[in-house]
Amino acid sequence: MAARAVFSGHATGQITPSKAMVGALRFLPMKTCPLKINNTKSVGQHIYMKARIWNKLIRERRLKVVMLSASSGDIGPNLLSSSDSIKQFYTSINEKNLNKLREFISDNCYFDDCSFIKPFQGKKEVMEFFGQLITSMGQNVKFKIGHMCEGDDFTIGVTWHLEWNKKQIPFTKGCSFYECSMENGTKLVIKRAQVLIESPMKPGGSVLILLKIVTSLFDAFPTATEWFLKSPQGVLQVILRIYNMVLGPFISPFLAWYLNLWKFMAIFLSYTLQTLLFISKIFFK
């Protein structure tokens, strides 16, 4: 009787699992790959440790700067806190101290006041603006700081208004955003500022109608809109030239008369108030 031999060099037939084997495998517990879990935990721990080291370095740097400032005994802008620096900045304006104010302005400062067509660039232009501002404020007008919100990278937002003898002046509310930088490791200076001032005009809902008109014109003439938005100052200069050539000769005399009228009214009211004060001192001694 011949025996069937199976050699190792030949592949055997594919083994098909029985129904009983499939049913048994179905109830075996499923296991997640431990390598994948360990890798995920390792990445998370690495990010967490890196963040802790970074925060520690920042805290140590701030502590070092504050200790240096305290040891020097300087109460100028040699403080790391941007909020303290901005408070001293406004104090310098209120005290009319241009020399101290100069210490808070960087050499390449960019100061954008929305009341002016062009921003002030460089320390010289910015200090000339503050010199005119301090002169215009007189002796009794002061800045009063409202809310301050300090962000990252020495940025801070400030709300403020003007007061005369601690009484708020109408239409003088404003909001300023400052971006400071560190100089010489211990000195915070303003390198960029943007100032928004309350408008005395209160158009209300009509401003939405005007916005609708402007956006409709923008959509109707996209090419001209792109040109205007790229160089709005150039467009304004062209408009001013057209005004000077066409409308200036007719409108300028009227405006001059109108301004002279207001000057006369201001002088008249000033003399009237002085007379009333003089009379009140006589009768109410």
Give the pLDDT confidence of 206-234 residue by residue, as tens digits. 888 888 998 998 899 888 888 878 877 76
DSSP, res 285? -
- Give the architecture-level CATH label for domain 82-197: Roll (3.10)
- In this structure, are residues 172 and 160 in contact, taking their beta carbons and an 8 Å threshold? no
DSSP labels, 51-97: HHHHHHHHHHHHHHHHHHHHHHT--SS--S-HHHHHHHHHHHHHTT-
**Per-domain boundaries in the chain:** 41-73, 82-197, 206-271
CA distance 135 to 144: 17
pLDDT at 61: 57
pLDDT at 56: 59
Choice among 25-29, 37-41, 168-172, 275-279 with the minimum mean pLDDT: 25-29
Give the pLDDT confidence of 135-155 residue by residue, as tens digits. 999 999 999 999 999 988 889
Over residues 70-83, mean pLDDT: 56
Over residues 86-101, mean pLDDT: 95
CA distance 176 to 114: 10
pLDDT at 236: 72
pTM beyond 0.75 = no
Distance of CA 198 to the CA centre of its chain: 16
pLDDT at 6: 42
In this predicted structure, the answer to whether residue 276 has a pLDDT above a threshold of 70 is yes
As a three-state string, the secondary structure of 116-182 is: CCCCEEHHHHHHHHHHHHHHHHCCCEEEEEEEEEECCCCEEEEEEEEEECCEECCCCCEEEEEEEEE
In this predicted structure, the answer to whether residue 196 has a pLDDT above a threshold of 60 is yes
Classify burial at 151, counting beta carbons within 10 Å of its beta carbon; exposed 0-12, middle 13-18, buried 19 or more: exposed
Bridge partners for 158 per DSSP: 148, 176
pLDDT at 182: 87
Give the pLDDT confidence of 117-129 residue by residue, as tens digits. 889 999 999 999 9
